[in-house]
Structure 1
Amino acid sequence: MVTFFEASLNKISVHHVGNQSQGEMYALSEAPLQLKDDVIPSLLMQYFLKPFEKANEVYHLMHSSDDLALNEIHHFVTDVFEDNSKFHEVSEQIAKHLYSVSTHPNIKGGELYTVYFNQVQIEGELLDAIGIFKSENKETYLKVYPNEGGFAVDYEQEAININKLDKGVLIFNVEKENGYKVVVVDKATGGQDAAVYWKDDFLQLKIRNDSFNQTSNALGVYKNFITNKLDEEFEMTKADKIDLLNRSMKYFKEKETFDMDEFAEEVISNPEAITSFKNFKEQYEDEFDTKIADTFEISDNAVKKQARVYKSVLKLDKNFHIYIHGNKDLIEKGFDDGKAMNFYKVYFKEEA
């Protein structure tokens, strides 16, 4: 989704943002960071941009009033995209804005980096981008080096692992009127209440409703329906649930376009269960203000990602795992009165 082999780091400013609920302050630098050699920019590019190579979800900046002018980050980055000379001044405003939303006691303080990049590629298009990154977690590193005919060991505390970006966002200079194209990294720490501040309070994001997100949402809603809702209304075995999940994944892997009525007939089949699923989908759309279209182009990347969390394993106590990949009619559930235990009977032709 995002590549940076043609990218360059144009400007970078670093500030420190504490947690105001803990009595911590923010500290602003007086000028952009001066990079002394070619190695540091290369390391910073890896630290900042490599985590976005696997980012599939694209977001937009938004505001609950639907007035984008009220989104602080949208206002700040627009100033820089229109006048690059404002970069450092705007980076200070961004740090102050982050400080203003850092009120949960579990939010960690850390360095805030604002970076201007040239030629970052997203969805095949080379664009300028503004990156905002925060390092919250520090590590201790050992250094071994030659010394007087042998070796010596030293260490460095409070150092940053360039392979572990805590929080980051790239805002691309395109689709300004929609809230720009935005991709985000958020390694949440401090519990769920503290985790929402980066995406929800600081950035104020809404997910772009493209084929990737339509596919992800449809598969996610269906999985929740099967695992959490269906057996409230119907008598279902775990094998039945796994079969329904497998059939849905098969549909999404084989089809190029999703059609709600076709999916319901081919995968769910039961008219009462179909009605229940459609009601469940509508409740999801209302609760999360996210519309899942009745037809959309299926995203292969979204299918692959969701396939990782679709479970096809039937766990029986701590003794057996049965992997169900095909015809559920070849597995039967029963109860043995003598042993007072459940059992499964599995039919097969050959033993591999």
Structure 2
Amino acid sequence: MINLFNAHIESLSIHRVGNKSRNEAIFLSEEPYNLNDEIVPLLKEYFFKPFREKEENYFQFAHDVDLEYNDMYNLSTEIFNNPTEAHAISKKITNHLFEQSNHPHIKNGEVYVVHITNISIDNNVVDAVGVFKSEIKTDFMQFEEKGKVLEMILQQGISLNKQDKGCLIFNYKKEEGYKILTVDSNRYDARYWLEHFLSVDAFQDENFFTKKYLKFCQGFAKDVVFPAEDKKEEVLFMNRSVNYFAKNDEFEESNFLNEVVINPDLIPEFKNYKIDKGEKYSIEDVTNFPIANAAVSDARKSIKNVINLDTNIQIKLDFINPESAEKYVEKGWDEEKQMYYYLVYFNKEQKS
């Protein structure tokens, strides 16, 4: 978890990059921007707002050979080690971004390189490097009195309500490639920012493994449990899976299988499914990991607990009290109508 409330902008450098394929130039400012009390709160909101609002999916710098060959890893480390040289290093970062700006779809724009202190991440106070790029210009009106007439002047600028591209590189977990948050609102050039400029992979922590394993369970429920049994059992399997994660601090696969997979015939099916699909979900060799509670809460919101029937009827099962579905919902076959049915037991109807 991150806390940006007390974050302080130590330095800001602003440059501009063009598109190399269109022979657009690069502009590097000679000096860092002179911050003042009026602009700082606006900049903090512009830079930080996307990271407060979006889910914390962390990345880390990566390279096929070694981290020391990742340009942004090295440049970020230079700033962390020598913050007084942040402006000079910001020019190298902007040049690196410019070298990746050679696809026709990539837009020109302003680049902001920021050194930030007093950020809290996982209960550790660290500094960070922020790199942001504004691309989309917005029309706005200015008005000017000329004699007895109020003139309307059309101008263009960037909106402080939306960040086009940005990343926060935290001075934390250096050996793994630093923890990084990134945002990209303009997905017409998705590989440009994440792959070509930053060169990052997903950060494989407890949050990552909790999300990936629950996604894997959803795939197993849909592809194996539903065809082998029915929709009710698919929903209940996911319910038991989420509840296992919710009540445990550590995931242990054999315990999980014994507690969650009620039908013993499905245990070898689960293991075979993991062999086939585990790499897709990045959990092929994972059997133990700490559980991230925030990831479990997010997963619970996204997992459907509704049985949709072809007779335009829905049955919603309660994830909080799963034993109700086990005890009070039965599935059967009606010979006369040649249709399946669900039998639901209850004492009285509840008020809405």
The two structures have a TM-score, normalised by structure 1, of 0.83
Provide the C-alpha distance between the structure 2 equivalents of 1:36 and 1:262, rounded to a whole number of angstroms: 56
Cα gap change, 1:61/1:344 in structure 2, threshold over 3 Å: closer, same or farther? same
1:120 — aligned with what?
119
2:256 — aligned with what?
263
1:285-304 superposed matches below 5 A: 285-287=278-280, 293-304=286-297
Check conservation: 1:98, 1:202, Cα contact below 8 A. Answer: yes
Cα gap change, 1:288/1:243 in structure 2, threshold over 3 Å: closer, same or farther? closer
Shift of 1:331: 3.2
Provide the C-alpha distance between the structure 2 equivalents of 1:208 and 1:219, rounded to a whole number of angstroms: 17
Identity %: 33
Letter in 2 for 1:12: L
Provide the C-alpha distance between the structure 2 equivalents of 1:345 and 1:157, rounded to a whole number of angstroms: 66
Check conservation: 2:7, 2:119, Cα contact below 8 A. Answer: yes
Check conservation: 2:15, 2:29, Cα contact below 8 A. Answer: no
1:165 — aligned with what?
163
Provide the C-alpha distance between the structure 2 equivalents of 1:274 and 1:108, rounded to a whole number of angstroms: 51
**1:206 lines up with 2:201 in the alignment:** yes
Match of 2:237 among 219, 223, 244: 244
Shift of 1:73: 0.2
Check conservation: 1:26, 1:96, Cα contact below 8 A. Answer: no
Provide the C-alpha distance between the structure 2 equivalents of 1:156 and 1:173, rounded to a whole number of angstroms: 42
- Once structures 1 and 2 are overlaid, which stretch shifts more, 338-347 or 112-121? 338-347
Provide the C-alpha distance between the structure 1 equivalents of 2:288 and 2:91, rounded to a whole number of angstroms: 45
1:253 — aligned with what?
246
Cα gap change, 1:108/1:271 in structure 2, threshold over 3 Å: closer, same or farther? farther
2:268 — aligned with what?
275
Provide the C-alpha distance between the structure 2 equivalents of 1:177 and 1:138, rounded to a whole number of angstroms: 39
1:134 — aligned with what?
133
**1:310 lines up with 2:309 in the alignment:** no
**1:216 lines up with 2:214 in the alignment:** no
2:110 — aligned with what?
111
Provide the C-alpha distance between the structure 2 equivalents of 1:92 and 1:133, rounded to a whole number of angstroms: 13
Match of 2:183 among 141, 166, 185: 185
Check conservation: 1:218, 1:292, Cα contact below 8 A. Answer: no
Shift of 1:63: 0.5
Match of 1:331 among 315, 326, 329: 329
Determine helix, strand or coil for the equivalent of 1:224. Answer: helix
Provide the C-alpha distance between the structure 2 equivalents of 1:139 and 1:317, rounded to a whole number of angstroms: 48
Q: Residue deviations 1:21-60, cap 9 Å, x none?
A: 5x26342232245346312111111111232235533332
- Once structures 1 and 2 are overlaid, which stretch shifts more, 278-287 or 329-338? 329-338
Cα gap change, 1:288/1:255 in structure 2, threshold over 3 Å: closer, same or farther? closer
Q: Residue deviations 1:322-343, cap 9 Å, x none?
A: 2112344433455668877665
- The count of aligned residue pairs is 342
Provide the C-alpha distance between the structure 2 equivalents of 1:158 and 1:292, rounded to a whole number of angstroms: 52
Provide the C-alpha distance between the structure 2 equivalents of 1:339 and 1:200, rounded to a whole number of angstroms: 58
Q: Residue deviations 1:73-101, cap 9 Å, x none?
A: 01211222233343233223222322333
Determine helix, strand or coil for the equivalent of 2:228. Answer: coil
Determine helix, strand or coil for the equivalent of 1:311. Answer: coil
Letter in 2 for 1:168: G
Shift of 1:141: 4.8
Cα gap change, 1:172/1:140 in structure 2, threshold over 3 Å: closer, same or farther? same
RMSD: 3.2
Instruction: List alignment gaps of at least 5 residues for structure 1.
Output: none
Instruction: List alignment gaps of at least 5 residues for structure 2.
Output: none
Provide the C-alpha distance between the structure 2 equivalents of 1:215 and 1:52, rounded to a whole number of angstroms: 21
Shift of 1:303: 0.5
Provide the C-alpha distance between the structure 1 equivalents of 2:215 and 2:333, rounded to a whole number of angstroms: 33
Cα gap change, 1:40/1:271 in structure 2, threshold over 3 Å: closer, same or farther? same
Q: Residue deviations 1:262-282, cap 9 Å, x none?
A: 111211233342222223334
**1:8 lines up with 2:8 in the alignment:** yes
Q: Residue deviations 1:236-292, cap 9 Å, x none?
A: 322221111111112111222222111112112333422222233344443465566
Provide the C-alpha distance between the structure 2 equivalents of 1:196 and 1:135, rounded to a whole number of angstroms: 17
